[in-house]
């Protein structure tokens, strides 16, 4: 769970969300994970948050612009490595197909 501006948010991924993220980043998720050893580039990290964040209890994802705003604040407040770790943890939870046989 992510806490920002007095509200709780969750990161949630599925195949459709990953397709959107891959289109925006112009990079397949697994290729980026392998290429970078699991440490996303800053732009990619913000994109994974922006397109995967929703208010806790809501079915709707936040608009990407709001997600980018939250991502930037989270990175500034918590540090790049911690935020990257949260995204990876959520990807492993929601998209185990990326990590089969790993």
| Region of residue 6 (phi > 0: left; psi between -120 and 50: alpha; otherwise: beta) | left
Q: What is the mean pLDDT of residues 20-27?
A: 96
Percent of the chain with pLDDT over 70: 98
Residues in CB range of 66: below 8 A, 6 or more apart: none
pTM value?
Answer: 0.93
The whole-number pLDDT of residue 100 equals 80
pLDDT digits (tens, 9 = 90+) for 37-78: 889 999 999 999 999 999 999 999 999 999 999 999 999 999
Q: Which of 57, 58, 52, 46 lies closest to 94 in space, CA to CA?
A: 52
Structure tokens at 4: 């920002």
**Element housing 16 (H / E):** helix 15-25
Distance CA 31, CA 88 (A): 14
**Phi and psi of 79, rounded to 5°?**
95, 145
């Amino acid at each position: 769970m992510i806490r920002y501006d007095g509200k709780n948010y969750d990161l949630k991924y599925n195949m459709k969300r990953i397709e959107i993220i891959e289109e925006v980043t112009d990079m397949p998720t697994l290729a980026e994970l392998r290429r970078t050893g699991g440490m996303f580039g800053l732009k990619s990290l913000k994109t994974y948050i922006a397109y995967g964040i929703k208010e806790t209890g809501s079915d709707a994802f936040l608009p990407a612009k709001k997600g980018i705003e939250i991502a930037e604040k989270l990175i500034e407040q918590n540090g790049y490595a911690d935020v990257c770790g949260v995204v990876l943890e959520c990807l492993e939870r929601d998209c185990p197909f990326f990590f089969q046989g790993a």
